[in-house]
Structure 1
């Protein structure tokens, strides 16, 4: 399996090539809109923002958005994308989930896409404490009644949910210990060719998925994504 920390630190451009192919049917934006239809007066924080997948989606619609990530290289790509889109209502800040560089009660929406999983997987013996600290920070920066939306993998290369074993305890904790609502959506990836699909999947997901994608010979890779949300 590729080392994601190394990718985030040094290969942000290639990572952006991959995520730009995700969600061919725009289910992520539709989901956010269904949970928070009125965005014009919303101040948002996108934690673990990466190259700006959610930040760039939100920026045209919200009053302001801050993208927070611990990898400066990823934020540089996000910054470039926002500038190229002509957006002016944004900031980027280097920071950690458990010590967010944002003021108390400063946002109405917190999004966290494919990121808390790195702290809350069962590979960490103290994952529950890490998750508790992350959610405490999210509550701290959110105004009363604000919304938190979490997106995580529910299976890449899968047409039906197949979450990784090392994340299922974290997902249960969100629902049963913290009271998050949950649904899953399809966020299939569509590449320019089957060859590109195999190449970029190998880069991030590893040989097993890439070999399956290559054998299938399709530019479309199915993907399931879990969504959790809660008013804080």
Structure 2
């Protein structure tokens, strides 16, 4: 059940990304070309789940990673909390499937996916509430399914009021400890296969962390 506190941060996240959707896409749509570390993890994920696999980009934003996965042979679709982001995704990648939805209650059947991404989509949820999201990721993955997640490295909360060319935003973002996230995944029935910590590089100003995991049988 969603509490009033849940509703506050979820609503704030949705509102902020509705506001920045167009400029967010314009600024970041080609950013993977500048990040060999991100491409390395995405390409490894793609190879492991296998060509043609149905994979969910969960928290897909405007679909830039969904599009990358589809271009590399996966049957990729996206789900995002923000209708504004989904609208831009549909316009930008008209051949792909995008749907509005919450990571806390994904509109997907149990054990229905061989692969899923949570690509910078856990960072706006208070860390103490992340077990709910991780459990939902585990629910929709089939046994042996692969999960790839990326996030900013750290332990602090940042309150964002200006981003992507917009003022007057109100959005919290959490930098996360890879050991903490790995522990959440392990508790939810995942095995950690690989982790990568990269130095700060454009478009990011902080080190980034990437975890690749497999759901146990």
Q: Same fold (TM over 0.5)?
A: yes
Residue of structure 1 in register with 2:156 after alignment: 165
Alignment of 1:57-72 (within 5 A): 57-72=68-83
The structure that has the greater radius of gyration is 1
Question: Once structures 1 and 2 are overlaid, which stretch shifts more, 6-15 or 25-34?
Answer: 25-34
Q: Please state how far the C-alpha of 1:5 moved relative to its aligned partner.
A: 4.5
Residues 1:111 and 2:131 are matched in the alignment:
no
Provide the C-alpha distance between the structure 2 equivalents of 1:53 and 1:230, rounded to a whole number of angstroms. Answer: 22
Q: Which residue of 2 aligns with 1:185?
A: 198
> Partner residue of 2:137?
138
- SS in structure 2 opposite 1:73? helix
- In the aligned structure 1, how far is the partner of 2:26 from the partner of 2:60? 15
User: Is the CA contact (8 Å cut-off) linking 1:41 and 1:63 kept in structure 2?
Assistant: yes
Aligned pair count reads: 180
TM-score of the two chains, using structure 1 as the length reference: 0.68
RMSD in angstroms over aligned alpha carbons? 2.4
Structure-2 change in CA distance of 1:40 and 1:71 (3 Å): same
Q: Which runs of 5+ in 2 are unaligned?
A: 1-11, 158-173, 187-191
- Contact kept, 8 Å, 1:109 with 1:146, in 2: the verdict is yes
CA deviations on 1:142-171 (whole Å, 9 max, x unpaired) are 1110111111113xxxxxxxx252446664
Cα drift, residue 4 of structure 1: 5.7
Which residue matches 1:7?
16
* 2:39 matched residue in structure 1: 29
Name the SS of the counterpart of 1:11 in structure 2.
Answer: helix
Q: Would you say the 8 A contact 1:50–1:74 is kept in 2? A: yes
State whether residues 197 and 210 of structure 2, in contact with CA within 8 Å, keep that contact through their aligned partners in structure 1. yes
- TM-score normalised per structure 2: 0.72
1:228 aligned to 189, 211, 215, which one?
211
